[in-house]
A = this chain, B = another copy of it.
Amino acid sequence: MVAHRLDEIDRKILAELQADGRMTNVELAKRVGISAPPCLRRVRALEDAGLIRGYHAEVNARELGFEVQVFAMVGLESQAEVELSAFEARCREWPLVRECHMLNGEVDFMLKCVAPDLSSFQSFLTGQLLTTPNVASVKTSLVIRGAKDEPGVPFDVLEERLSRTA
């Protein structure tokens, strides 16, 4: 990890932009305690270094008509690398699958899916996921309600960790 090459200002920038990605550069500069030009240079550098992958609006899926969220745990027949990659490629094609993570343990993949309603998801499940070659088992769990949803990184933990190292 390259976190050591970042000073406190860089980490503050990342934390602020993670919390509010549309913050103006002048506001950001004010918050991290430097003037606008070097602040913008740092942001560009963080983007170029790949530490900032992009910026996204967080939309209200439920209000937009995606009322169903499902975790699907998928087991494959063969775990050969070719098969794993093939399944991942499929997941990237399916719009209802928003996340696909390869896991250790008995389950091979964890999928997070969204759908307009249960029947839409069912038809995806039976018509697409379950009919995919090499898929051995799928266990699904409906999300009843969400209690916390903050993708990203806890910068306070990072700060604490670095201060201990230093």
Contact = CB atoms under 8 A, between A and B. Distances in A.
Interface in A120-159: 141-154, 156-158
Contacts of A57: 14, 17-18, 21, 52, 54-55
B143 A96 contact: no
A42 interface: no
A112 to B, nearest CB: 8
Interface of A: 1-3, 14, 17-22, 49-67, 69, 71, 88, 91-92, 95-105, 107, 109-110, 114, 116, 141-154, 156-158, 161
A90 to B, nearest CB: 10
A102 B147 contact: yes
A11 to B, nearest CB: 8
B116 A157 contact: yes
| Residue among A52, A71, A96, A147 having the largest count of chain B Cβ atoms under 10 Å | A147
Nearest to A67: B1
Contacts of A143: 101-103, 110
A102 B20 contact: no
19 contacts: A1-B62, A1-B64, A17-B57, A21-B56, A22-B55, A50-B60, A52-B57, A53-B60, A56-B151, A58-B151, A61-B152, A92-B147, A92-B148, A99-B150, A101-B146, A101-B149, A102-B147, A103-B143, A110-B141
